Amino acid sequence: MNDHELAGYLAQCAGDELLKLRTDENPRSTNPWYLRDQGDLISHKLLSDQLHKHRPHDHVLSEEGVDDISRVEADRVWIIDPLDGSQDYPYPESAEWAVHIALIESGNIKAGAVACPSLGRCHVTGSDTDIAPRKNVEPLIVSNRWNTYQASSIAQIIGAEITCCGSAGVKTSLVVSGDADVYIHGSGLYEWDACAPVAVARDVGLVAFQLDGSEFQFNKERPVVRGLVISRPEFAEAIREALIP
């Protein structure tokens, strides 16, 4: 398996395990706290074990792992969010959760995958897929739930409607699949929230940058990013101009 295939395979495996856990007959499966903790745990364990098995020399930065800071000096680092959207994951009616896997090599994104198991989607880099056709007549922005200030100002500029949903991976999937035109995340994120979404978005020809218009830098000592914009190319310049002070 090359790095793209491994990312896709692992995102799919972790997604399958998470789907199974949610439909388990275990009586505790109705307890959201239990499901969140178990989901984080089993997905993190599966991904770190498998990465160790397939790429024993690579480093891993996981939302659910202990951060071994020697990764900052490493050439190859996998940045993973075993369960993105854990708030929504416990609820069977919600599809707003994902698995994120990305590989940084020599400071650049090398491969990535975003699985959205409840949507039956898994976006993987290196598959030569083109940007999907737009599905709406009017532009549509998808935003995070708690900070829609930037989304509203951009919506005015490009004449778009706004919709909100959970999970950075699912919001990215909506743009990759042509359901939405732009994803704006108006607050800071961790690298594991943003890295795999940026990987799969750029792979199909979408544009991605931080909220201040700047380029991402991944595998930093403090692994945070300054918000996230993922856009179809035709809206990107207007958005970048509006956001840069």
Interface positions with Mg ion (CB under 5 A)? 63, 81, 83
In b/e form, how buried is each residue of 22-50, taking b as 16+ CB within 10 angstroms? beeeeeebeeeeebbebbbebbbebbbee
Considering beta carbons, is residue 83 or 103 the nearer one to Mg ion?
83
- Which CB atom, from 83 or from 140, has the smaller least distance to Mg ion? 83
d(CA 101, CA 2): 14
User: Which amino acid appears at position 118 of this protein?
Assistant: S
In whole angstroms, how close is the CB of 130 to Mg ion at the nearest point?
30
> For Mg ion, which is the closer residue by CB, 63 or 191?
63
Residue 225 CB, nearest distance to Mg ion (Å)? Answer: 15
Minimum distance between the CB of residue 205 and Mg ion, rounded to whole angstroms? 27
128 near 109, Cβ under 8 Å?
A: no
Closer Cβ to Mg ion, 181 or 191, answer by number: 191
Can you tell me the distance from the alpha carbon of 224 to that of 104, in angstroms, rounded to the nearest whole number?
15
**Of 145, 161, 142, 159, which Cα lies nearest the Cα of 206?**
142
Task: Write down the least CB distance from residue 191 to Mg ion, Å.
Answer: 12
Torsion of CA 151, 94, 16, 168, to 10 degrees: 10
Nearer to Mg ion, 160 or 189 (CB): 189
Least distance (Å) from Mg ion to the CB of residue 118? 15
